[in-house]
Amino acid sequence: MAHKEVGLDPPKDPNEDTIFGKIARKEIPADIIYEDDLCLAFRDINPQAPFHALVIPKKHISQLSTAKPEDQSLLGHLMLVVPKVAKQQGLASFRLVVNDGKDACQSVYHLHLHILGGRTLGWPPG
């Protein structure tokens, strides 16, 4: 029988602080590999591939489905940062994953983009 991962329920307060908010504010350490005024990228502490990093906005957005129209340029910026980080890390190709909500296994309710690479990735992913 296959193991089914389960995400966490979203917080009652959508502005609730998260571990990623603390990383963005440098309140707790992380292996940061990229940073600009709007976002940062850091290595995942539980990598699912030889290279696994997360890109997060510094602004709190709990999940992609709760983003507002005024977040459009920030969301576009995140998408442009992903290949920049991948290239800096020497990846010829990569997979981008966004988990949105409990049934998609979102475990931290601060928008984050997973960059996975460093090996041939299978399909379907799970």
The catalytic residue positions are 112
* Rg of the chain, C-alpha, whole Å: 14
List Cβ<8 Å contacts ≥24 apart for 90-99.
91/51, 91/115, 91/117, 91/118, 93/117, 94/51, 95/49, 95/121, 95/125, 97/125, 98/64, 99/7
